[in-house]
Each structure stands twice: as C-alpha cells, then as structure tokens.
Amino acid sequence: MAPVAVSQPTDILSTKLDKLSLSGSKQPDISYHPDEAKWKARTARRLAEDPSLLDTPLPTGFPALLESPLVWEGKDWKDESQWTYNLNDSQLEEIDGALKHFHSLNVPQGRINQSTFPLPTLGPILRDLSRELYSGRGFFVLRTLPVDDYSREDIILIYAGVSSYIGSLRGVQDRDAGVLAHIKDLTETHPAKAIGAPAYTTDKQVFHTDAGDVISLFALETAAEGGTSRISSSWRVYNELVKTRPDLIKTLSEPWTHDTYGGDPPFRNRPLLFSEEDKIIIQYARRIFTGFLGLPRSQEIPPITEAQAEALDAIHFLAEKYNLGLNFQKGDIQYINNLSIFHARDAFTDTAEKKRHLLRLWLRDEDHAWKLPKPLEEPWQRLYYTAKEDEHRFPQQPEIRSASKGKGGAAEGGKYV
C-alpha cells in the first residue's frame, strides 16, 4: 500500500486521513498460488523505494545464525534410508498384538495410548524417533503398515496407537473433538464453493505449517500420478533471510492480521515468526492471508501489507529452493516437526482405482516439547488440553474441517486453529 502523502496534519485532518487511508487500503496483488514474476517485481519495487530496508537490524532476541541438525537443504540428503525407519515382521506382529490387546479392553477409542497399546520392543525405538523430531533433523518416515490387511477402523487405531509413542497428546482438528483428519480430493462430491483449503482438492499446496508441534500423515493410498510430499527446513530459510533480507525477518516477527473467516473475533493478530529461548518458531498458512477457492480473504478486515505480501512469497520460494521431496508410499507414516519445517505437496491426478488418501494427526510430546511463545499458548491450549480423551473422535470417512469450509458451503463459521 502506498503511504498517504501528508505534511504535519492537524488532529482533525489526521482523523480524516486515517479514515481515507483505511478505506483506501487494499489487499496487495497476491493470491494463494505464488507468482514468481510478481514476487520479483514487488521486491525490486520495494527496494527501489527504500534501499535502507537491507540495513534493518534484526529484532531483539533473534539470532544472526542458526546452527543445528534442523538446518538442512534437500540436496544434503542422498538416500531415503537416512530418514526412513523400516518396520520388520516381528515389529508388525507386535503392532497386531497391541491392536488385539486394545480391543480386549473395550474402552473408548480416545483411550488409545502407550499403556493401552503396548509395544514393548518397538516402543522405545519410537520414543527415540520422537526425540529426533524435536532435537534432531526434525522428520522421519515409518515404513510400512499393511493397510490392506486391516479394516478402516483398525488401521486408524493402529495409526493412533503407534503415533502415541511419538507424541502422547493428540490435537483437536475439528468440531466435536475430531482428532483425525482425512486429506483427500473431495471436489467430485462437494461443490467448489464448499471447499476453502487445498487439502480437499488435487491442487498443489504451497509451503506452510499446520497447527501444533508435530504433523503426522499416513498414506492409505497414493495418487495415480503426482502428489509428491515436500518438506523444507524453516531454519535454513531463516538463515537465508537474515543474510539477504533482515527487514523481512522484522516483518515476520510483527503482528499479522489472521483471517478467521467469519469467526468471532473476525480476525486475530499475532506474528508468524518467534524467537523463544534458543529456538526459532514459525507458524503460518498462506491461505489465511490470501484466501483459497470458496474461502476468499474477508473484505471487512484489514488487508495485509506489501511487505507482508513480499514476505509470504520469499518464504515460499526459499522453502521451495531448499525442499526435500519424500517418496511417500502406501502404508508409510511421515512425522515432521511443524515448528521448524514447512510442508507442501505437488498437484496430483487420481484414477478410479488409485485415489490419494491420507490421514493426519497433530501430535505433541511433553517430554521433548519446546517452550512456546506467549501468542501460541492459547491456540495450543485449545488444540491439546481442552477435549477429554474419551471425547476424541476419529472420523472413519473424509469430512471437511469447519476451518476449511468455503463460505458458500456451510452456515457455521470457520474457527481458526
């Protein structure tokens, strides 16, 4: 947004100009799908207008360089055996035994945890892998669960039981304590206006984070073509921005207007980037600032700024530059540290026989968890500490999350989590 030119306004004039400025504010020319040419043009324009941006000091408490196993680039990894843990036959038998034990208890599904789903030999290995998420490279793939050998209900229980060793807390993702989400193209059964997130389409998903500490995705089926799952170290992206665009670090560390898409309140303000103890934490989803398909950015809330639009693109294109594509197979579970790793996926094509279908859990492990910045405490409380275990709901079939419904699709408001 171009600043309103004014010299020494009086209070009255200032008020009028504030109104004029607000009514004249408009959303920058940016959409969900990043446009490299527009990004480069915006960068050139902003730096031409103010070359001193490059001299912006880092905000207080933000490190000049992150050094950690969490700082990596896709090209650093040579072979998937570096991040893939292969389950052997005896471990799969142990998982099968744990499922039978859980059934014998005859308790609600939400009670599935380390004590009700015993894995005496695999359990300690999974606990080590959980530590790897929080203080190692930040991701791994567990390969492979025999999806076709189990009913939908049982494979979901196995997924939840195994995952309880990675993070004992499950995050609520949807209304009525839904702790399991389905990621699947629903455009054949739902009108476009009902869909507000790319998770329910075959569209490309740009680099972003979800909510919560750890995201887990479990492939019930992969796409006939495309759909590669991609991850990228936000700590690597951070180091690059510090070196090349410290002004964008400042922009990211200041409050942004998050659209709640008709929620109450209609928007929330918080930064996207935090420095807490010796950790950098980033939490953002581009669609909250640009809208997507049936859920356009709300008109009545403040638009984002030109600096914020540039920062969104800078994050995306740097994440893309350093990304690692995961060879996600049917029956694989991937776990990633959502506080330090972006994720994305390529567009894909389904066929009648092969339709991409993932399950998702948002996990947290209190033994390994990082200290959270203040603005994330309340959303984390809602995610992990509000619903009781017995209330946890594991939808067996895909449904569109309230927060991801298009405005034309449902009367209920989007609750941002």
By CB under 5 A, name the binding residues for Fe ion: 210
Return the beta strands (E) in 42-88 as ranges. Answer: 84-86
Minimum CB–partner distance for residue 129 and Fe ion (Å): 21
The 3-state secondary structure of 137-148 reads: CCEEEEECCCHH
Residues in the chain: 417
Look at the alpha carbons of 406, 206, 218, 226 in this order and tell me if their dihedral is positive or negative: positive
Cβ at position 413, least distance to Fe ion in Å: 21
Q: Which helix (H) or strand (E) holds 359?
A: strand 357-364
If the CB atoms of residues 287 and 297 are measured against Fe ion, the closer one turns out to be: 287
Report, in Å, the least distance between residue 208 CB and Fe ion: 6
Cα 359 to Cα 41, 125, 160, 289: the distances in Å are 39, 22, 10, 25
Contact yes or no for 215/343 (Cβ under 8 A): yes
Residue 38 or 415 with smaller CB distance to Fe ion? 415
Nearer to Fe ion, 87 or 214 (CB): 214
Strands 139-143 and 333-337: antiparallel
Compute the least distance from the CB of residue 286 to Fe ion, in Å: 11
Cβ contacts of residue 258 below 8 Å, gap of 6+? 267, 268, 269, 270, 288, 289, 416
Q: What is the nearest approach in angstroms of Fe ion to the Cβ of residue 417?
A: 12
Residue whose CB is less far from Fe ion, 227 or 246:
227
Residue 141 β-bridge partners = 84, 334
CB closer to Fe ion out of 27 and 334: 334
Query: Which single residue is written with the structure tokens 């030109």?
Result: 306
Q: Pick between residue 111 and residue 415 the one whose CB is nearest to Fe ion.
A: 415
Residue found by looking up tokens 């009086």 in the block: 10
Chain position whose Cβ is nearest to Fe ion: 210
Give the nearest distance from C-beta 392 to Fe ion in angstroms. Answer: 20
Determine which helix (DSSP H) or strand (DSSP E) holds 206, and give its type and residue range.
strand 205-208
Nearer to Fe ion, 94 or 210 (CB): 210
- The structure tokens listed for 389 are 């275990």
Are 65 and 275 within 8 A, CB to CB? no
Per DSSP, the three-state class of 28 is: coil
CB of 63 to Fe ion, least distance (A): 26
